[in-house]
Chains A and B, each alone.
Chain A
Amino acid sequence: MIEALRKKAEELLRSNTVDVIYGYGEGSTPERTRPVFITKPEDVNKLIWNKYCVYNLTTYLKRQESRKLGKPAIVVKGCDAKTIVVLIKESQIKREDVYILGVTCNGVGEPLATKCKACDVNTPRIYDDLIGEKIENKEIPFDERYAELDEYEKLSEKEKWDFWQKQFAKCIKCYACSSICPLCFCDRCIVDKNQPQWIDPSAHPRGNLSWNVTRAYHLAGRCINCEECQRVCPADIPLNLLNKKLAKETEKNFNYRSGYNIDDELAMATYKEDDNQDFIK
């Protein structure tokens, strides 16, 4: 599979189809990989593919530094490919601006990342080239996909509050969660705006609650569950639970799953006259 990937990458660079490959390379330790940016055909041997390729490389589509390298081909897993669908729908990129090197994937991380436990995109749903043998994507029932939330939804109001206060207290406001997120692409984040200051920049309980709730909420109906926020959090806050909760509510209420169909209207940019309103007096 690595050979096929390198061969394709070399071909794309030689033919000038793309200027750069965003891929995975060897990391600091054997259990780690790192993003690499290949611009020369002779460097394609730096590309690797293994179970430690957890990153969602599409985040580099929002970064001016990598964009300056020219048109990219991106190595994406099925989950990462969903980001590209959202970015196209949200007019951040055009389909023709990016060459998608889809890889089939049976799960990443050691131990297996939670995002992989109910995966239904082993084969990317969008790609220009597919590397690896096609895997039939499973249909996974709603309940199973959101099973991770069950134990938290069961908690009482006070238990929930205490749990999240304890988690948010750990936040150091390093903003790794939003920096890594491929869909957090605002040039100036709301937290960096101070006239007025909607969110306290301080890492105290008040500022941490409003920041973490707002970060999650801004991804409502958009998050594609790549879990990068949770992976990078140096304080080990289970951020993806919040995103997953929002994804669940979006699917339940609007029958919408982010990144699955390029023809679907974005959940939070549209409405239906008969949307649920049983909580409105």
Chain B
Amino acid sequence: MAEETKFEPKIVAFLCNWCTYAGADLAGTGRNQYQANVRVIKLPCTGGIDPLFLIKAFERGADGILVSGCHPGDCHYNSGNYHARRRWNVFRPLLEFCGINPERIQFSWISAAEGGKWVETINGVVDTVRALGPFEGYQKINTIGPDASSESSQT
């Protein structure tokens, strides 16, 4: 019975098509198991990941997020991951400043050849977020109560 109540975090992973997605695929073909808490969203490039995607993931109930793409220098579009890295450098502290634990949004470089690193990374994210517990703060604001407006207004 204890297992039923065990918290299983929802993790959303935004992966670049060329490196990390292929890396995760490699882990699959190599029959390397990893925890099934992750929902993968494939995008052409980390450079195209708007930080709003990450906010939306939390709005839809994610407890943790992984953003992963090609190693510096390996970007299929030459510089997409460099631009992404700039954004994360400011977006991450902004969320932290607003009270969101940075451990809930993690970043990695995983190449198409690094199936092992994918398994290790995603397991790490799942374990960390499981230890943090459900993202209650965000889940609380995700539901609008019958009179949420008067509860929340001008307090």
Contact = CB atoms under 8 A, between A and B. Distances in A.
Nearest to B51: A217
Contact of B102 (A163, A213, A279): A279
Nearest to B108: A281
A275 B141 contact: no
A254 B152 contact: no
Interface in A238-281: 241-242, 245-246, 249-250, 253-254, 267-268, 270-273, 275-277, 279-281
Nearest to A267: B86
A161 B94 contact: no
Interface stretch (B22-30, B34-42, B77-85): B77-85
Contact of A169 (B56, B97, B142, B155): B155
Interface residues of B, number: 45
Interface in B83-128: 83, 85-102, 106-109, 121, 124
13 contacts: A157-B96, A161-B99, A169-B155, A204-B149, A213-B94, A213-B98, A249-B90, A249-B93, A272-B82, A275-B82, A275-B86, A279-B92, A280-B108
Interface of A: 152-153, 157-166, 169-170, 190, 198-199, 202-206, 209-210, 213-214, 216-217, 220-221, 235, 241-242, 245-246, 249-250, 253-254, 267-268, 270-273, 275-277, 279-281
B5 interface: no
A255 B16 CA distance: 28
Interface of B: 51-52, 55-56, 59, 72-73, 79, 82-83, 85-102, 106-109, 121, 124, 137, 140-142, 144, 148-149, 152-155
A163 B99 contact: yes
Contacts, number: 131
The 4 A-B pairs at the shortest CB distance, nearest first, are namely A161-B99, A160-B99, A205-B141, A271-B82
A214 B87 CA distance: 13
